[in-house]
A and B are shown apart, each in its own frame.
Chain A
């Protein structure tokens, strides 16, 4: 169990929340006209400046009070969304169904365990000296391979970034689970799954045959991430 020092957590929290906040602002912009790059840059810079304000002048003061720190993967997914907006992609897939399914499934197990309904100690395993580091290495190799093979590059890069942050600096909390999942990301995954199911149901009701299971056609960098990359983490942690 190796924990990050408080100073690095404070810096991470400010930057992380700035990226998440900028993504939320951009998401609210969705239905408006395409966002100019200058506007996007101004939103990100504004969010960073706001979060850097001292004490309770900073929104990070209140976000930290309520949620403490965003997971590395949430920050990575938000960065990916911002990058897509920067590249002019407005109607991309919010979260691939495979990734959303893995996050939702892992979250249900993890949170039931944390609430005391299960007694498997999944969260404690995230601090472990063997399983968690091995899971991080397997994930890093899997994500690097996925990126090199141009397979779900964007989300693989987000996972890889979260793993690098965990392995090198042990951010955000020293626990592998906190690097890969938090209740906000869990909620995002559930919403993505529900929205996908609703779209599919709507298309079936209207009699249309979906070309690719009813989801928007992702770009080359947005194909679903292979299930085995994430199931390996699940098996490693679940084996404790």
Chain B
């Protein structure tokens, strides 16, 4: 006989309970995260890191120049990037294949040690990337590398979805063994439009807490620069736009002081000058500045702050009958505003291409790599000396 005192819980009560449970779950999850994040931000204040030794003017003396050994059967090479290794060693990454956007394009790496480059090794292909991501990658593009304080190499690689470079995403790979093996950490979320049209090209900027800023840019129609901040473990912490311009891309970030950061950028406007933006609050907000008085016919630039405190920029100069990328010039500045030419690193007749430069200071040496005629990656090495010394 049925006991009238014991009734099945009504459907309404079950729904009521379920809803309350889910709402409490959301509140609890967010509260726990907020608590953890609050603790982390209380102990870390991420401002650009400045390493200064022997402040003052410097002179540069070329020590050597050569091509990094190319992978066999890969006639096209482009977009090199450098990462420091312990013991004054370096890693160079670039992409190579039959042609830009070709299905056989892969990212290769070579190690600089004892004054020579190692044979290139394949790091990532669209097949290997797709296998780890669980979805397809149509083509591989620019790599950007960074060595964190723990010695891990972080490699950011442009990987496109359905479409051209405007459908690009950024894959984040990490190596725990100084570049011998990489595993995919994730695709970085940068856009609500199927997470497409975000690319990397220029080198990250170190932060005082061990983190770094990765320069990123968007390029469907309008082109604008962004930066993604990472903590010391390589986890993204924020994403922000640099300035309000809609015709600049490939920002090269340089710290002027702990709170002042400048971005020099490729110009996609009719002005055809190196574009310029600044942040005076540690990267929280950015203001577009007047362009520098340096020509830029839509080509990538590289900039660093030397440990002496001076600034170097590699940029394509245009004069006389030169074409957009036929002169690669190295310039120096004390204030990021007025630039003086040091040397033309590479120069050829109109139509030649010396482009997409990268720079790295390793001890008292400056290493420069760039694309040579879209066929190889060239490497130049300079001795950095205080002015007046021999």
Contacts and interface: CB of A to CB of B under 8 A. Distances in A.
Interface of A: 1-3, 5-6, 9-10, 13-14, 55-56, 60-68, 110-111, 114-117, 119, 121, 123-124, 126-127, 129-130, 133-134, 136-137, 140-141, 143-145, 147-148, 160, 163-164, 167-168, 173-175, 177-178, 181-183
Nearest to A128: B238
Contact of A13 (B26, B131, B135): B135
Given A65-B162, A173-B189, A177-B192, A10 B134 contact: yes
Interface stretch (B98-106, B220-228, B321-329, B342-350): B220-228
A1 B33 CA distance: 10
Given A68-B194, A121-B241, A126-B192, 10 more contacts: A1-B235, A2-B235, A10-B134, A61-B136, A115-B220, A116-B246, A136-B30, A140-B23, A148-B16, A168-B26
A109 B272 CA distance: 31
Contacts of A164: 22, 25-26
Interface residues of B, number: 52
Residue of B133, B220, B246 ringed by the most chain A CB atoms within 10 A: B133
Contacts of A116: 218, 221-224, 246
Given A61-B130, A119-B244, A68 B238 contact: no
B19 interface: yes
Contacts of A177: 192
Contacts of A6: 132-134, 184-186
Contacts of B239: 1, 123-124, 127
A124 B235 CA distance: 16
A115 B193 CA distance: 9
16 contacts: A2-B37, A3-B235, A13-B135, A56-B130, A62-B135, A115-B193, A117-B222, A127-B238, A129-B37, A144-B20, A145-B19, A148-B16, A167-B29, A167-B30, A182-B192, A183-B194
Where chain B touches its partner, the secondary structure class is mixed
B195 A173 contact: yes
Contact of B27 (A5, A63, A140, A148): A140
B110 to A, nearest CB: 28
Residue of B34, B131, B193, B221 ringed by the most chain A CB atoms within 10 A: B193
Nearest to A181: B192
B161 interface: yes
A144 B194 contact: no
Interface string B122-161: 0000000011111111100000000000000000000001
B56 to A, nearest CB: 40
A111 B161 contact: no
Contacts of A145: 19
Residue of B15, B135, B189, B239 ringed by the most chain A CB atoms within 10 A: B135
A15 B145 CA distance: 34
A177 to B, nearest CB: 5
B254 to A, nearest CB: 23
Given A144-B19, A167-B26, A115 B221 contact: yes
Contacts of B185: 6
Nearest to A117: B222
Residue of A14, A66, A147 ringed by the most chain B CB atoms within 10 A: A66
B228 to A, nearest CB: 9
B236 interface: yes
9 nearest interchain CB pairs? A64-B135, A116-B222, A65-B136, A144-B19, A10-B134, A140-B26, A133-B30, A173-B189, A66-B162
B317 interface: no
B33 A175 contact: no
B15 A62 contact: no
Interface of B: 15-16, 19-20, 22-23, 25-27, 29-30, 33-34, 37, 41, 130-138, 161-162, 169, 184-187, 189, 191-195, 218, 220-224, 235-241, 244, 246
A111 B193 contact: yes
Contacts of B161: 65-68
A117 B134 CA distance: 33
Contact of A2 (B33, B186, B224, B244): B33
B186 A119 contact: no
B220 A61 contact: no
B23 A121 contact: no
A64 B133 contact: yes
Contacts of B34: 129-130, 133
Nearest to B161: A65
Given A3-B236, A148-B15, A64 B134 contact: yes
Nearest to B193: A114
A232 B109 CA distance: 50
B162 A5 contact: no
B237 A1 contact: yes
A137 B27 contact: yes
A152 B339 CA distance: 64
Contact of B191 (A56, A123, A140, A143): A123
Contacts of A133: 30, 33-34
Contacts of A124: 238-241
Nearest to A139: B26
Residue of B138, B189, B235 ringed by the most chain A CB atoms within 10 A: B189
Nearest to B185: A6
B387 to A, nearest CB: 42
Residue of B30, B169, B237 ringed by the most chain A CB atoms within 10 A: B30
A68 B238 CA distance: 21
Contact of A60 (B23, B131, B134, B221): B134
A10 B186 CA distance: 10
B59 to A, nearest CB: 42
B19 A148 contact: yes
Contacts of B224: 116
A123 B240 CA distance: 9
B134 A114 contact: no
